[in-house]
Chains A and B, each alone.
Chain A
């Protein structure tokens, strides 16, 4: 999430490939002038810990000028679906 610019999708997805993470779904939109992208990814083949991967993603986000969150999908499912 952040200010829209060239290379955000490329910057994030190249890191995903580097960590052996498959993208299963992408959606993106502009919310109140801010670029928002959500990716559903598969982390079952990570070569490192969840925590290391999360740090790498957050670091990459900083370089790209966007905020990145990595959270397990079940949390959204539990909270928003009856």
Chain B
């Protein structure tokens, strides 16, 4: 590395990114394996789980705040991801499963993290009876806790799409929203259905600590749509190849910052450094928007023709810049397109340039899926299941991660608004095409994997 003092320009650029363009590290996520907490007796398991989390994470938040202060890059959240809970709760009855969720909430409060994820299962090929039981109690866990986040992986390129699990997840979404109806169904905002879920994703609600991972890991989720928007905005009229290059440069800088802080936090905690996930994750704050990047490229409103091409270029350039900056890139890495969490995206949904069809198309080229979308509360479970199935098919047949986080807002219909507050933001209720689809989804079973999965 070139020695010599850093220049004034380099210093000012970083300060500007933080101050004006809201560069932040969205999350430092501490992954903790719970595999050594398994057992027959639920009480003992809960005790072991609680004690392990509290022991491993006791200094976590303090260290995060310390590093944030020293390096001057804001860190928004400190979170914990856990071994999928289905793997440590085999044989538990419903009561014990819900109780375990509360134990996770208590542990999260004790160590002062913002969220704790991993209450879920990977069932893309089949479900054990206790996995089925765990999935069915998710609504009760999400409605009785604030910080616990939940996921179910129902599909993969290798296994295909488990439609029985898709149906079960559609019920979970509906029930989670109903049980939290006084807060516009906020329970459902903490639940993600995945295809090809990454085991090292630091972002919620879908973070979990996969069995392939080590004992404890620090994963970093870097954000910074504002930084990319500022770059694009300054480059009106520049051709696409050069534009892509400039986005790569900005992505490089953001990723490098994330890796530096993540490694330092891991070092101070004596934990392995895992990955850095550069995902342009918007917040409802003005300027912190992915839709605005698309618009800065020259499209008047996000969702108009050209949006998919713009998003594809953006997503790919972000990945390329990130990969150059760090050999530990993982997670989702790309652009997120949540509706409620992106004020401009929510505005476009209200004005009609964004609808479910457009969003599905956008997920073919972005890093995740249908995210934080408010739909009418009376949307039938079968229709929700079909939306999930469509989105899973996009992931499975394109060998990418896709996810669904829908909220059927109880008592609200198209034209109304859902308010969740904080990072979750607010969203207009988007219409869902009506018509009968239950004969399709009720077939059940598994949609076979695509041909290219048989490449051994």
Contacts and interface: CB of A to CB of B under 8 A. Distances in A.
A75 B2 contact: no
B11 A79 contact: no
Contact of A79 (B7, B14, B69, B70): B14
A74 B260 contact: yes
Given A38-B8, A40-B6, A77 B1 contact: yes
Given A54-B69, A69-B15, A70-B72, A79 B253 contact: yes
A27 interface: yes
A81 B13 contact: no
* Interface of chain A: mostly helix, strand, loop or mixed: mixed
B259 interface: yes
Interface string B1-39: 110011110111111000000000000000000000000
Contacts of B257: 75, 78-79
Interface of B: 1-2, 5-8, 10-15, 66, 69-73, 252-254, 256-257, 259-261, 324
Q: Which of A1, A24, A51, A76 has the most CB of B within 10 A?
A: A76
Q: Which of B6, B10, B253 has the most CB of A within 10 A?
A: B6
Given A71-B72, A74-B260, A75-B257, A36 B12 contact: yes
B11 A76 contact: yes
Contacts of B6: 40, 73, 76-77, 80
B5 A40 contact: yes
Interface of A: 1, 24-25, 27-29, 31, 36, 38, 40, 50-51, 54, 69-82
7 contacts: A40-B5, A70-B72, A75-B260, A76-B11, A78-B257, A78-B259, A80-B6
Given A79-B10, A80-B10, A24 B69 contact: no
Contacts of A1: 15
Nearest to A25: B5
Given A27-B7, A40-B6, A81-B2, A75 B71 contact: yes
A72 B8 contact: no
Contacts of A36: 8, 12
Contacts of A50: 69-70
Contacts of A80: 6, 10, 13-14, 253
B125 to A, nearest CB: 41
Nearest to B261: A75
The 6 tightest CB contacts between A and B, nearest first, are A71-B72, A76-B6, A80-B10, A79-B253, A78-B260, A78-B256
A76 B8 contact: no
B253 A38 contact: no
Contacts of B73: 75
A82 B259 CA distance: 14
A78 B256 CA distance: 6
A70 B73 CA distance: 11
A21 to B, nearest CB: 15
Contacts of B2: 81
B1 A75 contact: no
A25 B10 CA distance: 14
Contact of A71 (B8, B71, B252, B256): B71
Nearest to B72: A71
A77 B71 CA distance: 12
B165 to A, nearest CB: 42
B69 to A, nearest CB: 6
A8 B272 CA distance: 43
Nearest to B324: A82
Nearest to B254: A79
Q: Which of A40, A70, A75 has the most CB of B within 10 A?
A: A75
Contact of B69 (A31, A51, A76): A51
A78 B8 CA distance: 15
B5 A24 contact: yes
A73 B253 CA distance: 14
Contacts of B5: 24-25, 40, 73
A24 B253 CA distance: 25
